[in-house]
Amino acid sequence: MSRVIDINKSVYELIKEYPEIADIMKSVGFVSITDPLMVNTVGRYMTIPKGALMKKINLDTVIKEFEANGFTIIRGGTEHE
């Protein structure tokens, strides 16, 4: 089964659907993402693109890491190529 994530959804929603996303995000620089308090507060309104911008992490690097871990990335209905 294909694992598809919309990076415009909140981090909270994504981690709820695929808990392993937290470890992937941590590996590219989102170090506090494995803290449940962060996910349950900031994660409810934070998206991956917003977080990458805030943390100065290249979004393409994040997307490539998700793809390397078997995810297909969409951005609000458009598949990432």
CATH code: domain of residue 72:
1.10.3910.10
Domain count for the chain, please give it. 1
Average pLDDT taken over every residue of the chain: 92
pLDDT at 81 over 50: no
For residue 78, name the pLDDT band (cuts at 50, 70, 90). Answer: low
Q: What average pLDDT does the segment 13-39 reach?
A: 95
pLDDT at 77 over 80: no
Domain boundaries, position 68: 3-79
Determine contact, residues 47/36, Cβ cutoff 8 Å.
no
Where helices occur in 18-78 by DSSP H, the ranges are 21-27, 36-40, 48-55, 59-68
Determine contact, residues 21/62, Cβ cutoff 8 Å.
no
Q: What is the pLDDT of residue 76?
A: 72
- pTM for the whole structure: 0.86
